[in-house]
Amino acid sequence: MELIFSPTSPYVRKVLVAAHELEIVDQIKMTQVTTTAFETDSRLASVNPLGKIPTLLRDDGPALYDSRVIMRYLNERADGALYPEGRLWDVLTLEATAHGISDATVSMSYEMRLRPENEQSPSWIEAQWEKAARALDVVEARWMSHLFGPLDAGHIGMGVVLSYIDLRHDVRKWRDTRPALAAWHAKFSERVSMTTTRIDG
């Protein structure tokens, strides 16, 4: 399998953390591309019309894209337990919550880093942060017992997006009002899958 990636993407990191946890990372060849919403890498566009990473070229069928699809494929391939039947709807809802926080905070990063200053919209950036902050509050209030349970895809999504917020939006100081989530994230970040996929810049 070949994973088309770029190092700072939280969507890519999610897939890599999953591959480490499923112990199939050695089966994945990594191909780095430089791609942005404004300038799409041409090889990437030829296998994923949306031009987004991660994209997985598998040996047994057409390319797969969207990190959630790739994670599920890897889980099935490794006969893993990231989507346990008994609590599937909770796992998928937590995964979707983490994914939505990624979408909001990546969108903030695009606005601040890709668009010229005179085209940036501070009210758009704040509206996106409000979504992320509201979702983090709900995770703090309702999801901590799930997070402290056995590892699943929802954990990976949350762990990775919190590290992404540290990387790009640390000024938001998300820990200040969410002590339980902060404690969980500190512990989750010690996993080998997280330390070996750490992004520093």
Ligand X SMILES: N[C@@H](CCC(=O)N[C@@H](CS)C(=O)NCC(=O)O)C(=O)O
Note the residues at the interface with ligand X (CB under 6 A): 9, 11, 35-37, 40, 51-54, 66-68, 106
- Decide whether 104 or 178 has the Cβ nearer to ligand X: 104
Cβ contact 93:103 at 8 Å: no
Q: Who contacts 112 (Cβ-Cβ below 8 Å, separation ≥6)?
A: 120, 125
DSSP the chain: -EEEE-TT-HHHHHHHHHHHHTT-GGG-EEEE----SSS--HHHHHH-TT--S-EEE-TTSS-EESHHHHHHHHHHHTT--SS-GGGHHHHHHHHHHHHHHHHHHHHHHHHHHTS-GGG--HHHHHHHHHHHHHHHHHHHHHSHHHHTSS--HHHHHHHHHHHHHHHHHGGG-GGGG-HHHHHHHHHHTTSHHHHTT----
**Between 15 and 25, whose beta carbon lies closer to ligand X?**
15
- 140 vs 154, which CB is nearer to ligand X? 154
Considering the complex, what minimum distance in angstroms separates the CB of residue 179 from ligand X? 29
Q: Please, which residue, 68 or 115, has the CB nearer to ligand X? A: 68
Shortest separation between residue 36's beta carbon and ligand X, angstroms: 6
CB atoms within 10 A of CB 107: 18
CB of 200 to ligand X, least distance (A): 16
- Give me the least distance between CB of 10 and ligand X, in Å please: 6
In terms of CB distance, is 36 or 177 closer to ligand X? 36
CB of 14 to ligand X, least distance (A): 8
Closer Cβ to ligand X, 108 or 140, answer by number: 108
* Least distance from ligand X to the Cβ atom of residue 106, Å: 5
